[in-house]
Each structure stands twice: as C-alpha cells, then as structure tokens.
Structure 1
Amino acid sequence: MSTFRERVREAGGWYAWFNSRLIRVAGPAAVGPYESEPEPSRTDRACPLCGAPMSEHTFDRSGPKPLMTCPR
C-alpha cells in the first residue's frame, strides 16, 4: 500500500491532488447563469438619475467632460 506522500506525488503535487479530491466532493464549477434572462443592452438600461432608457438621452462631448442631458 502506498503512503500518502507517494499518492500526492503520483497525482502531480499537492495542488493537483487536493483539486481532484475537491472536485469529487463538490462537483465541477458552475459556469454561468443559463436559466436567467440576459441583461439588456447598455442603451436600453435605465438612467440612474431619471429612470428613462439611456437611448433617449443626449450627450455633449465637446468639452473636457461629457455632459448628459435627461429627456425630462
């Protein structure tokens, strides 16, 4: 029977041994939220100030700082 140290070495080191044991217990990683709706595009998102869609706003980028004008 092999010792613990030999089994770890055969697995490729401490990290590989621990990771293989962890995956057996916890299962594979969750990859993404496949059951939820995708987020709306940036232009369809609500403005944090007025709540209207961002596509209804106007932006003035002629100065040093861009200025956003809400539609209301």
Structure 2
Amino acid sequence: MSDKAPLRDRVREAGGLYQWFNATLIRLAGPPHVSPNLPRNRDGDTCAHCGRRKDEHTRSDDGALHCPTAL
C-alpha cells in the first residue's frame, strides 16, 4: 500500500502535534506573507503637504502633525 510511516510516528518525530501541523501547513500553503502594515519608523517619511520629513513637524495634543513654517 503505502511506504509512509504511521501518522502517530510522523507526529512524534516532528516533535508533537503542533510542530507536525505547522510543518504540514507551511508545506501546503507556503511561507507566511509579510504585511505592509507592520510597525516601522515612519518619522523619516516625507509629508504629503510640504514634502519635508515628518520628524521636522510639530505634533499637537490630539496627535495631528503641523507642517513647519517656511523660513
């Protein structure tokens, strides 16, 4: 019939049910995709209004950014 080891033995060799399921799922579905919404340092990004870096702006109490005044 099949040359595979019984499921019980494959699960035990993988290190447990969770490890076996995770390895099987990754093999079938592929690696996880990286989300573009991961937290990152956005202070270096440019402002859509004035084009200057966001860390040059002032932040008000409500969290809004205010563009720096032109010198």
Q: TM-score range by the shorter chain?
A: 0.3 to 0.5
Alignment TM-score, normalising by the size of structure 1: 0.45
Of structures 1 and 2, the one scoring higher in RCO (CA 8 A, sep 6+) is 1
